[in-house]
């Protein structure tokens, strides 16, 4: 933090400053109160998912032997679930809790009475979401390794992929949250956005099995790219060009989301 404190990134409020780190500190202070329950659910969730889907459902899937590269269903689905879980947590975190800070408890407004600016709030809370995604993915990876579901040591790189995927959802959703005055929009977002993505982004089966007209839809969703990159790293079937495309797609969505958030945050909070 001290290394960054000398950095000035232009006009205060127009861009993020080192003060976004203060917002991250705030979130870590809240986290400190509940870290044990985070840890517990962070370990039990992947275990339940991997045993039921990877091992239970896998018993039947493996008989057909039709997965690309001939991997087991557990090895196929584990990296995808790792990424998906980070995405789900980040999506939730950028909806209701942010709405609370903007609209219900209005703690953002309290922070804005200090040298902290609107963009610092956006960037600070994105850093917190990245932190949380790192933590969740690391715990998930532990379970993956314990169950022997990863073929390649490169699977550790699934963690940064999961973090990028989490941010590629969090940034646009935070931008959206700043335009809302209640949580009605979130129900639609999750019902018609997040849940279908969770089911049809190549998490549970290859997108090649989707009807032809739906496949291009999968390509433009960030979750598909996150899942594909993590899976390639985990099963050790590395294709550098493919990986670059996947990571590039995630970064593009993050940049677009932050740009949108800069506008909606300022429009909402500085009036």
Q: Contact residues for another protein (CB under 8 A)?
A: 11-13, 17, 19, 22, 25-26, 29-30, 33, 105-107, 109-117, 269-271
**Closest approach of Cβ 94 to another protein, in Å?**
17
Residue closer to another protein (CB basis): 106 or 209: 106
Instruction: Name the maximum alpha-carbon separation found in the chain.
Output: 62
Least Å from the CB of residue 238 to another protein: 42
Which residues lie across from 15 on neighbouring strands? 12
CA gap 231, 19 in Å, rounded? 36
Nearest approach, Cβ of residue 8 and another protein (Å): 11
- Nearer to another protein by Cβ, of 19 and 231: the residue is 19
CB of 83 to another protein, least distance (A): 28
* Nearer to another protein among residue 18 and residue 190 (C-beta): 18
Whose Cβ is closer to another protein: residue 7's or residue 188's?
Answer: 7
Q: Is 92 exposed, middle or buried, given 0-12, 13-18 or 19+ CB atoms closer than 10 A?
A: middle
Residue 12 or 185: which CB sits closer to another protein?
Answer: 12
**What is the secondary structure of 158-196 as a DSSP string?**
HHHHHHHHHHHHHHHHHHHHTT-SSSHHHHHHIIIIIHH
Other Cβ atoms within 10 Å of 194 Cβ, number? 19
Q: How many CB atoms lie within 10 A of CB 252?
A: 13
State the minimum distance, in angstroms, from the CB of residue 127 to another protein: 15
**Tokens 């949108």, located at residue:** 260
């Amino acid at each position: 933090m001290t290394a960054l404190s000398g950095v000035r990134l232009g006009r205060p409020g127009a861009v993020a400053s080192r003060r976004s780190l203060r917002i991250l500190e705030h979130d870590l202070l809240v986290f400190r109160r509940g870290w044990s329950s985070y840890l517990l659910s962070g370990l039990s969730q992947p275990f339940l998912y991997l045993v039921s889907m990877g091992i239970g459902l896998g018993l039947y899937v493996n008989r057909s032997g039709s997965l690309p590269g001939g991997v087991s269903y557990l090895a196929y689905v584990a990296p995808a679930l790792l990424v998906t879980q980070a995405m789900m947590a980040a999506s939730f975190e950028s909806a209701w809790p942010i709405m609370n800070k903007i609209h219900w408890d209005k703690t953002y407004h309290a922070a804005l009475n200090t040298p902290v600016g609107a963009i610092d709030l956006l960037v600070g809370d994105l850093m917190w979401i990245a932190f949380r995604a790192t933590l969740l993915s690391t715990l998930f990876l532990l379970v993956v390794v314990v169950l022997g579901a990863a073929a390649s040591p490169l699977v550790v790189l699934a963690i940064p992929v999961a973090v990028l995927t989490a941010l590629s959802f969090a940034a646009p959703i935070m931008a959206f949250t700043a335009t809302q005055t209640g949580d009605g929009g979130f129900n639609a977002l999750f019902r018609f956005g997040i849940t279908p993505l969770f089911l049809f982004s190549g998490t549970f089966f290859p997108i090649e099995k989707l009807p032809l007209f739906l496949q291009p839809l999968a390509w433009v969703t960030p979750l598909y790219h996150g899942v594909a990159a993590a899976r390639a790293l985990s099963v050790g079937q590395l294709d550098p060009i493919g990986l670059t495309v996947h990571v590039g797609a995630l970064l593009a969505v993050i940049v677009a989301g932050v740009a949108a958030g800069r506008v909606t945050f300022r429009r909402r909070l500085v009036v």
